[in-house]
Amino acid sequence: MSEQNTSNKLRVLLPHWIEHNNNHIAEFRKWAGEARTDSEQEIIQLLEKAISDMGEAGKSLCEALEKVGGPLASKSEHHHHH
């Protein structure tokens, strides 16, 4: 695959990965809140660490998207699920 094709593919994939990552963070936050009601401190701490780690991953994904030129404008929204 040429460098141009790789960049274009990443410009499509990275926004999807960023959105997917953000959805996971939201779900982790929801369950950390549920665990709070059960006083599961160790679980809460681990979920909060996962939220923080995924937040860092999201920053890296956003930076990568910026470096490849931002998202490609598409005529139709097409999502690939893996």
List per-block mean pLDDT (blocks of 10 residues) for the chain, which spans 82 residues.
Answer: 89 98 97 86 94 98 97 63 49
Q: Is 10 part of any domain?
A: yes
Distance CA 80, CA 82 (A): 7
Give the pLDDT of residue 4: 85
Domain ranges, residue 53: 3-67
Q: Is 23 part of any domain?
A: yes
Distance CA 71, CA 41 (A): 39
Give the pLDDT of residue 40: 86
Give the pLDDT of residue 8: 95
> Any idea what the Cα angle at residue 47 is, between residues 29 and 64, rounded to 5°?
80
> What domain count does the chain have?
1
Torsion of CA 62, 60, 23, 49, to 10 degrees: -150
Give the pLDDT of residue 32: 92
Give the pLDDT of residue 80: 53
Q: Are 3 and 57 in contact (CB under 8 A)?
A: no
